[in-house]
Amino acid sequence: MYIDPHVHMVSRTTDDYARMATAGCVAVTEPAFWAGFDRSSAAGFHDYFRQLTESEPRRAAAYGIAHHAWICINPKEAEDHGFAREVMSMIPEFLSRPNVLGVGEIGLNRNSKTELAVFEEHLEIAARHNSLVLIHTPHLEDKLKGTRLILDAIAAHGKINPARILVDHVEEHTVRMVLDRGMWAGMTLYPDTKCTAARAVDIMEMHGTERIWINSAGDWGHSDPLAVPKAVVTMRARGHTAADIQKISFDNPRSFLSQSGNFSVNAPRPTIA
């Protein structure tokens, strides 16, 4: 039994839900993200947020998987500040829905001034609504600088308990700074561009399993919605105990996510759209 706490199921087929359920997935959480192209209107985001909170939970429930969402405008579409504010104005409407966990995945992409300003405004929305926060850290060569900018912005904002913030996509060079600030750290298991399962297990061995989770971040790109159960296989082969495996793949995500009263590992009864 496992939880995939970061996966973009709108980009995956129904067969993926079936495979994940077969592998033991009981719950997923889905952050709002970039669809691979820029949406041309705020209304496009409103439709997307409805898909995340109305359609995907039904699709997941058909396979006994509980589905929850995070709402935001992602940093890749945040370079137009006026447009970003128009989308952010819709966030409170969705934060009140019973299957929404908080604001995410917010953060930085190319570490621009506008991205940073929009990130700070998202933090303020989360603080006003007492929401959990899920943070995307930049890719590749931008990750180290972007993670530092994000952590400094959170500290300067100062209104959100660090234990209610998860900083995702950490790697060897960023995991320690996140944990040292009292936040949770997510390791994304990607074939090429983030952590492989082998490296994620290395990081657990070096930094422990407190306040760490693993996720697939499966989406429309090169990714694997079964990355979490495959990492479990790697942990087992590397000699880790069943207790450690349950902690990283189930107990830890449940602990963080349960800080939102909306989270449950029990899927609702399946319904027909």
Partner 1 sequence: MTTPEGKPPLDRKTLIDLGFIDARAKVLDIAAFLDRLDRASDANTPTDFRVDAIRSALEIARDNSPARAERILKCWSDPTTQPVAHADGKAARGAHPPHTS
Binding part of the chain for partner 1, among 2-10, 55-63, 65-73, 194-202 by CB under 8 A, reads 194-202
Per-residue binding string, partner 1, 16-55, x by CB under 8 A, is ------------------x---------------------
Whether the Cβ atoms of residue 70 and residue 134 lie closer than 8 Å to each other: yes
Side chain identity, residue 90: M
Closer residue to partner 1 in complex, CB, 100/204: 204
Count residues binding partner 1 (CB under 8 A). Answer: 39
Q: How far is the CB of 211 from partner 1 (least distance, A)?
A: 13
Binding part of the chain for partner 1, among 4-12, 18-26, 41-49, 145-153 by CB under 8 A, reads 145-153
DSSP 8-class letter at 10: G
Which residue from 273, 226, 217, 215 is spatially nearest to 249, judged by alpha carbons? 215
Q: How far is the CB of 141 from partner 1 (least distance, A)?
A: 4
Q: How far is the CB of 172 from partner 1 (least distance, A)?
A: 4
Binding part of the chain for partner 1, among 62-70, 93-101, 161-169, 233-241 by CB under 8 A, reads 233-241
Question: CA-CA distance, 22 to 1, in Å (whole number)?
Answer: 10
Return the number of other C-beta atoms located less than 10 Å from residue 191's C-beta.
12
Q: Is the dihedral of CA 141, 143, 145, 146 positive or negative?
A: positive
Question: CA-CA distance, 84 to 113, in Å (whole number)?
Answer: 13
Closer residue to partner 1 in complex, CB, 58/207: 207
**Interface positions, 60-79, toward partner 1 (CB under 8 A):** 76, 79
Q: How far is the CB of 175 from partner 1 (least distance, A)?
A: 9
The phi, psi pair for 133, rounded to 5°, reads -130, 130
Strand order from edge to edge, sheet including 212-215: 2-4, 25-31, 66-71, 100-107, 132-136, 165-168, 184-188, 212-215
Closer residue to partner 1 in complex, CB, 4/244: 244
DSSP 8-class letter at 53: I
Q: Which residues bind partner 1 (CB under 8 A)?
A: 34, 76, 79, 109-116, 138-145, 148-149, 171-173, 198-199, 202, 204-209, 237-241, 244
